[in-house]
Amino acid sequence: MSTGARAASVSAYLDELAQQRRLSAHTVKNYGRDLDLLCSLIGELPGECGFAAIETHHIRRFVAQLHVRGLGGRSLGRTLSAWRGFYRWLGQHAMATHNPVDGVRPPKSPQALPKALSPDEANRLLAAAAEDLLEIRDQAIFELFYSCGLRLAELAALDLSCLDDLLAGEVRVLGKRNKLRLVPVGSKAREAVAVWAGQRARLAAADEAALFVGQRGRRLGMRMIQLRLQRRGLAQGLPARVHPHMLRHSFASHVLQSSGDLRAVQEMLGHASIASTQVYTHLDFQHLATVYDQAHPRAKRKTE
């Protein structure tokens, strides 16, 4: 199979993911990157190998090569998942007789806990006074991230049509795999959004449906949201580079610390599996361990 033929198969698969399965553009892009990597590795083999000629030992070799290049277990796991799904599609379209990725597992790597702000750091981030129109918009965005635990793509996709529900205390978002969920909105976030809603017309184009817009009056892009949040964190002197997912982690960790209700946090985050939410119990334990070290009279050995 030629390079062009491999690329055509990948393109057809990605089109199906986008058009029929309606995966997000970000997810399809990630699949495309992983499959381009597969095509590149196959291209390094002698001869003109097609997808159907690849065996399990080839996949294991590819994984070893990528691991040597510095890819960790989580990245390799995601890559193998993309390859596995692609080969499943090839089999459904009679372009492969077997799935060589089945049974191949990535090397294990230490589980990195998500980085979250402390409650004091979150309050410091959100306590900054909004002095202009863009900062009023930013305040509403950052309060929503922390109040609702939204993903970046979910927040950027919010339309003005959700405003009434949002101000009433709930927001309906379309998450991964087109799963719709309803998330409560706290009073601080509602107040910040109400202030922004009163000023939005000064910035938004007349026909723009987005709730949050940029200086050109159109929907605010995800990259700009990231940059504005990072700038706010630096201005407030926070020790870590703040990004939207850190606010999502902070939301989950702080709600779990206060309530202990793992199922409720799972529902609000939109996790399909409780296992994805359980990582926040480790953050909760870290918090408790820190309190213990500071409070218990025999937690630390006294210095002479």
User: For residue 80, what are its two tokens?
Assistant: 């193998």
Active-site residue, from 137, 243, 248, 249? 248
Q: Among the options 280, 287, 296, 301, which is catalytic?
A: 280
Known active-site residue 87: no
For 124, the token pair is 């410091």
- For residue 58, give the nearest of 99, 19, 24 by alpha carbon: 99
The active-site residue, picked from 60, 78, 88, 245, is: 245
Site of tokens 């407030």: 236
Judge whether 300 counts as a catalytic residue: no
Is 271 a residue of the active site? yes
Taking the CB of residue 290, how many other CB atoms lie within 10 A of it? 11
Q: Which of 190, 200, 228, 271 does the annotation list as catalytic?
A: 271
Task: Please say whether the beta carbons of 265 and 164 come within 8 A.
Answer: no
Which tokens sit at 105? 């597992």
8 A C-beta contact, residue 60 and residue 104? yes
151, 200, 243, 249: the catalytic one is 151
Which residue among 58, 67, 74, 176 is the active-site one? 176
| Residue in 234, 280, 252, 253 with CA at minimum distance from that of residue 125 | 234
Which residue in this structure is represented by tokens 């033929």? 5
Cα distances (angstroms) measured from residue 254 to each of 90, 111, 265: 44, 20, 10
Q: Confirm whether 74 is a catalytic residue.
A: no
Place of tokens 């459904």: 92
Residues taking part in catalysis: 151, 176, 245, 248, 271, 280
